[in-house]
Structure 1
Amino acid sequence: MDFVLIFKAVIIGIVEGITEFLPISSTGHMIIVENLIKFKAPMYPKAYIDMFDIVIQLGAILAIVVLYREKIKDSLRNLSPGESGFRLWLNMLVAFIPSAVIGLLLHKTIEEKLFNAVTVAFALVVGGILMIVMENKYRRGNPIRSIDNVNIVQAFKIGCFQCLSLWPGMSRSASTIMGAWVSGLNTVAAAEFSFFLAIPTMVAASGYSLLKLKISMSSAQIVALIVAFVVSFIVALVVVEGFVNFLKRKPMRIFAIYRILIGIIILVLAFTKGMAA
């Protein structure tokens, strides 16, 4: 048993579970953590690291499915045209399409040009500033308090904002919440729309990445993947529920300030050679 790898799996699972659905960018945090714990190539095969990213994301998605299982089950019972379930999943499909199309077209370019510490750090800072500006403008007075009241035009607008998250470090959660603010959703409804939209978006992205992977793993590596999946799932369960309760009482400015600080830290580390750019 490789206990060092298991320890790293636990750390990575915790970070993913905390950051995936908060508007602070899981990508930016993974860059810091993977450098700190030396979970990167060439110490580990790149294909294995990519597999880790897929598995921990699936663990986080499962947390959303479990937390919202009653609403999901209810929506699946009402899939006839015009019913609430049909409208909900049609909205998710419409919101999913813009980033799916652009992601497929630009996937290789994004990986080659934008997946580095400096560009991720700038995305963290820019996204944090946008969150502060947009929350001040849109947070108060937005009339839509339930994702059941979102129309197809609003869903498409949120989907267009999700395209911002193709810039690594911008955060899918932050991008979709900002899009929801602009579309008239209050903050809690915006977060819940973001959670539901994560299901098709992250499953599709993970599936696409999985199809491209060619990898063989040792038993120790498989165990580490399972550990990371379970940890990510459990932590995400706790974090998402706590995040929704937080949003009922407090603004999101604290997350914006935090991500700006993290972005600055990454830039300092990158330019002082403390982190691979």
Structure 2
Amino acid sequence: MTEWGPALAVILGIVEGLTEFLPVSSTGHLILVGHALGFTGDAAANAEISIQLGAILAVIVFEREKIRRLLTGAWQEQAALHILRQSGRHPTWRALLQTSMQAHPHLWFVIGLGLAFLPAASVGFLAHGWIKSVLFTPQTVAATSIIGGLIILAVEARQPKIHTTQLDRVSITSAFWVGVAQCASLIPGMSRSGSTIIGGLLAGLDRKVATEYSFFLALPTIIAATAYQMLKANATFNQADYMALGIGMVVSFLVAWAVIAAFLTYVQRHTLRVFAYYRIALGILVFIVVR
């Protein structure tokens, strides 16, 4: 199955929806599935990245109440932003910022999300062409699947100290380190979700908050990547191709919605070790099968 069309779009949509928010790498799985089906090249890369939009829409719909509350709160806090100085006292900028962060949590959550987005966006913008031309291979996915699995096992064994148990209390510092961790996901197979969740755990977020923060950070990250890729793919796809792409997006939306709900429930009671074992087994299998 080498021709882009509705049937292939459904397959890729299912794969994308199943893997985008689990720490197993949706890009890696799409590369492996595309390789197995003979669907490779620029058209494959464009379709695989663009179809992610369906999964990100699932996050927006699933988390719509929290998104609305955070954005509304941030807007109100920004509009009312003021810090009163006591007469005779001149607080430092550090004190002013600490006071504002306590008084305006929604605003600083949005600022932190923007800060977390910047590292991977900057590296990706500079290195996208090289990554796409050199690293989009089954062998890269196999190696990074194993490496990522070992990292998950190491972090779970370490059990980092938890100091953040509420989503809207993720600090600027924690947000920055999660953003730095997201840079690893630019390598196919490392997993955006896995990198950001592990980064969140190392930054002191509990497992549920780290997972949900990963969902929120996916919004600017995947929307920007998808928009950029679809603009570049304008010359690659015709009208029929875009119709197939729409089918793939709808499928990934529906599947991702179910996965998001199930995964959030799962991480409240379980570690990520099962995903680490899966990654390691997948990597070994790919090395054996793909020559």
TM-score by length of 2: 0.85
Structure 1 residue 77 corresponds to structure 2 residue 98: no
> Structure 1 29/184 Cα, relative in aligned 2: closer, same or farther at 3 Å?
same
Aligned to 2:107, the other structure's residue is in SS state helix
Q: Is the 8 A contact 1:55 1:228 kept in 2?
A: no
Q: Which runs of 5+ in 1 are unaligned?
A: 272-277
Distance 1:100 1:217, change over 3 A: closer
Q: What SS does the aligned partner of 2:5 have?
A: helix
Aligned to 1:274: none
Q: Distance in 2 between matches of 1:208 and 1:4?
A: 20
Matched, 1:105 2:126: yes
Would the alpha carbon gap of residues 161 and 151 (structure 1) be closer, same or farther in structure 2, given more than 3 Å must change?
same
Partner of 1:261: 281
- 1:114–1:168 contact (8 Å) kept in structure 2: yes
Q: Percent identity?
A: 41
1:25, 1:171 within 8 Å by CA — same for their partners in 2? yes
In structure 2, how many angstroms separate the alpha carbons of the residues matched to 1:232 and 1:221? 17
Aligned counterparts, 1:17-32, within 5 A: 17-32=17-32
Q: Which amino acid aligns with 1:26?
A: S
- Check if 1:59 corresponds to 2:54: yes
Q: Residue in 1 aligned with 2:260?
A: 240
Give 1:145's aligned residue. Answer: 165
Output one character per residue of 1:77-126: Cα deviation in whole Å (capped at 9) or x when no partner.
11224423211211111111111111112222222322211112111100
Give the total of aligned pairs: 263
Please tell me whether Structure 1 or Structure 2 has the larger radius of gyration of its CA atoms: 2
CA displacement at 1:182 relative to structure 2: 0.8
Tell me the distance in 1 between the aligned counterparts of 2:18 and 2:265.
15
The aligned counterpart of 1:93 is: 114
Deviation at 1:216, TM superposition (A): 5.5
Decide whether the 8 Å contact of 1:95 with 1:155 is kept in 2: yes
Distance of 1:96 and 1:223 partners within structure 2: 30
| RMSD across aligned positions (CA) | 1.8
TM-score w.r.t. the length of structure 1 is 0.89
Cα deviation 1:126-173 (Å, max 9, x = unaligned): 00000010012125x513112211110111011111111111110011
